[in-house]
């Protein structure tokens, strides 16, 4: 299993599909998926790929 590109931690359990990707399927860990959802709910911009520790 590849690590989560957003936090570089191993993905445990079911991966989440990143909301950043309209044209690509990029899978991140559950906690990163939750974090993206929380940021969206709070009106914060998502963390761009360029700031991720691993290039998806």
* Interacting residue ranges for Zn ion, rule: CB under 5 A: 4, 6-7, 28-29, 32
Give the shortest CB-17-to-Zn ion separation in angstroms: 12
Output 45 or 56, the one with its CB closest to Zn ion. 56
Output 23 or 36, the one with its CB closest to Zn ion. 36
b/e 2-17 (16+ beta carbons within 10 angstroms → b): eebbbbeeebeeebbe
How close are the terminal C-alpha atoms of the chain, in Å? 14
Output 7 or 20, the one with its CB closest to Zn ion. 7
């Amino acid at each position: 299993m590849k690590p989560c590109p957003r936090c570089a931690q191993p993905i445990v359990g079911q991966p989440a599909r990143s909301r950043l990707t309209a044209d690509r399927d990029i899978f991140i860990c559950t906690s990163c998926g939750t974090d993206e959802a929380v940021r969206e709910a709070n009106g914060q911009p998502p963390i761009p790929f360029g700031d991720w520790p691993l290039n998806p």
